[in-house]
Amino acid sequence: MTSKLETHVPAAPPQPGTAPQPTPPSAAALAQREARRQRHEVLLAQWKAVEEAGGKDEWVRQQLVARGVAAEEVDFEELSEKQKAAWKEKKKAEAGERRKLEREVWEAWKATHINHLGVGVHWDEQGGPDKFDVPHREERAKANGMPALDSAEALAKALGVPVARLRWFAFHREVDTGTHYQSWQIPKRDGGQRTITAPKKELKAAQRWVLSNVVERLPVHGAAHGFVAGRSILTNALAHRGADVLVKVDVKDFFPSVTWRRVKGLLRKGGLEEHAATLLSLLSTEAPREVMQFRGKTLYVAKGPRALPQGAPTSPAITNALCLKLDKRVSAMAKRLGFTYTRYADDLTFSWKRAKGAKGKAQADAPVALLLARVKSILEAEGFTLHPDKTRVLRKGTRQRVTGLVVNEAPNGVPAARVPRDVIRRLRAAIHNREKGKPGREGESLDQLKGMAAFIHMTDPAKGRAFLQQLEALEKRGQP
């Protein structure tokens, strides 16, 4: 297929670090949406009538009779030539009307059924139990608080969309003419670029329902601190304060490693049946795509398998639930070696403290090499890869940072986990320059400075509050 692509045009993201601003729907778009809703209601009513009639053939027969186009059965030999010609015309008209009615039935059926979700996706319209269900599936679903989603129609109703819309969201194509996502890049701390792929408004609303009603009800290990209620970068950092040795490990391609099939397996293990698990896993994933032009058309070509997009509201919580076994194994292993373990998304942190009264080199050294070897082994067994260039070992004499916060042992009165001083100095200087009427740095906005102040407020409320008050005063003066 690549040889047929005449022109390659890379995607044109907005300015780095900024998300595309949503455009409010036009009057024409709203009218189209209402027409689509009304059409869906008509199709639902039509399929209900087909079912009540006893199926497609019986409904079509009844409609032919009601419309007066049904050709009665006759003894053809007893008809005159004129009667034969008239009967043939009526039969021809009946055949034409039958084809129209059958098309109507097909449209009504598609409005209430999935039928197909793309090449490589298994879909059985009948549904029901199968050999891949977990033992006592219904009890497992109830224990996890899973909603009753025994059909595509039930899921569509829960999401507040027609079945056809649900199919459109979930359908997989290797080459598509449109996309449910928008992408842009933000700078990484190492100087590179991170691609954020976020769902558009309608799909995002569906994913938020999935997040709150399904994914967040799955069990998560206590070592997970990212995107978990009651936990944060602060709780993650505080677990490692005052460590003698800090070991930081990063998982390579964390979100892209979680394919839609892995998500489906997670949901089935959580108690959902085949239909719901298939649809929800497809709703929550997307293939990385490249934008190309071919014969005047814009095409979105898949560059890899469908996986969790970094920017979807469901992605972090899915990885937390998926990593339950990983966190159990790593936590148990770390404890045996004397380490404390936490995970914030793809960042694994281990801290080690020398036992009180320990003497001698054998008792004073942390088994870092053994720890790293076992972490690598467990990650690979759980379907992940240790990033070879992002392992850091930080000892007591150096500045130890965990999820952006300094956790070195601090004197009384200083927060146990605190924002680095260079960040505070940078914010103080930015506020001072603006108070003097000087422009901010290129790309620096008041909202970004507020974010820095809120970051400081999390660990030092008094200092953070003072910065926020200064920024509010600048905002009242009309500072951008």
pLDDT of amino acid 357: 65
DSSP one-letter code for 247: E
**What confidence score (pLDDT) does residue 364 get?**
60
SS3 310: coil
How big is the CA angle at 124 (ends 121 and 127), to the nearest 5 degrees?
125
Higher pLDDT, 172 or 443: 172
According to the model, what pLDDT value does residue 12 have?
38
* Mean pLDDT value of segment 95-111: 93
pLDDT > 90: percent of the chain:
70
Provide the pLDDT confidence category of residue 37 given band limits of 50, 70 and 90.
confident
Residue 9 has pLDDT above 70, yes or no: no
pLDDT band at 44 (very low <50, low <70, confident <90, very high): confident
Residues 151-170: what's their mean pLDDT? 93
Confidence at 318, pLDDT banded by 50, 70, 90: very high
Q: Given pLDDT bands bounded at 50, 70 and 90, which one contains residue 275?
A: very high
Q: Is the pLDDT of residue 311 over 60?
A: yes
The answer to whether the beta carbons of residues 312 and 284 sit under 8 Å apart is yes
Show Cβ contacts of residue 191 under 8 Å, excluding neighbours closer than 6 positions: none
pTM: 0.84
Q: Is the pLDDT of residue 102 over 80?
A: yes
Work out the mean pLDDT of the chain and round it to a whole number: 89
Give whichever of 8-12, 32-36, 206-210 has the largest mean pLDDT.
Answer: 206-210
Q: What are phi and psi of 198, to 5 degrees?
A: -110, 145
Q: What are phi and psi of 307, to 5 degrees?
A: -150, 180
